[in-house]
Structure 1
Amino acid sequence: MTDYTQELIDAGIPPIMHQMLSRHGVGALVVRMGIKFLELSPERMVGTMPVEGNTQVAGILHGGAHLVLAETLGSFAAGIHAGVDGQALGIEIGASHHRSVATGLVTGTCTAIHLGRTLTTHEVVMTDEAGRKLSTARITNLIRRSGSAE
């Protein structure tokens, strides 16, 4: 079994959550994209991602990178809401892009819209270092409980 302790520390995951994530870490894509977690709760999740290394051919942050950050934050928030007997599964995501960014760090702020027994919905706003809104995404996750049918 792989030990993901250092990966969890590097991503900013607090020790209290290490046991919950010890089997899978934060995921290879999260590591590759350079996403770091700053706040973690079902109601509010904040994380950052560098523009460098996540750009498209025109030298600006790739639109898909916005969605990776949004889905990461929304899914982690839904996973915390689901608890140890549940699993969050993303079922829908969409985004509107408002402006581009070519350098620096992007911050995603994920806010709960609905935290239900079987569904969660979060809004994720990505901003640049000057606080300008880059994109807005909405993600819905299905909460599956241990022992429930697919």
Structure 2
Amino acid sequence: MNTPPIWHGEVPPDVLTAMRRGTLIETLGIEVTAVLPDSLQGRMPVDSRTTQPAGMLHGGASVAFAETLASIAGFLAVDRARFHVVGMEINANHLRPVAEGWVTGVARPIYRGGRAQVWEVRIADDQDRLVCISRCTLAVLEVPTTYLSAEQRA
């Protein structure tokens, strides 16, 4: 049985890089590392930008990371000339503290409908131990995407 691809068309990696400039994505050091046939992968540093006063990864940074991966995945999964995705709801279970290194995230679709998408994002530490699991619901709006590069936003 052939599973249809989840991505709509091609988006060159430099476009994804340009979109992050001048945003929270860049501030937190979030990077997309792979667009695979069934998932989107990324990473985020655990450093002064993403930790709380006790020196551990801030739960809010994990949520921002999860929503970033889900939103980029949703963006890649729609016809961007006709649709735009925005976050509607997100939840997260923080399972393990992380004090240094990188966390990696993998976003996979749970549901991709005409009006909504649901993505699961699993975040792990450098030892591949689960740190956070999140579920993000995106609304699919019938307007061309408004994700733009820093130059286009200016």
Normalising by the smaller structure, the TM-score range is: 0.7 to 0.9
Structure 1's 16 and 50: CA in aligned 2 closer, same or farther, altered over 3 A? Answer: closer
- Select which of 24, 32, 36 maps to 1:37: 32
Q: How many Å separate the matches in 2 of 1:103 and 1:75?
A: 25
- Identity between Structure 1 and Structure 2 (%): 34
Deviations 1:38-88 (A, max 9, x none): 123684111000001210010000000000110000011111112221100
| Structure ranking higher on relative contact order (CA contacts 8 Å, 6+ apart) | 2
Runs of 5+ in structure 1 lacking a partner? 1-13
Structure 2 partner of 1:15? 12
Q: Name the counterpart of 1:5.
A: none
Q: Which amino acid aligns with 2:124?
A: T
Q: Which runs of 4+ in 1 moved over 3 A?
A: none
> What's the secondary structure of 2:114's corresponding residue?
coil
Which structure 2 residues correspond to residues 99-118 of structure 1 after superposition, within 5 A? 99-118=96-115
Does 1:60 find its partner at 2:56? yes
TM-score, structure 2 as length reference: 0.78
| Per-residue deviation, 1:17 | 6.7
Cα RMSD after superposing both structures:
2.0
Q: Which of 65, 75, 79 in structure 2 is aligned with 1:69?
A: 65
Indicate how the Cα distance of structure 1 residues 48 and 141 shifts in structure 2: closer, same or farther if over 3 A, else same. same
Q: Quick one: distance in 1 between partners of 2:14 and 2:137?
A: 22
1:129 paired residue among 126, 141, 147? 126
The Cα of 1:118 is off from its aligned counterpart by: 1.0
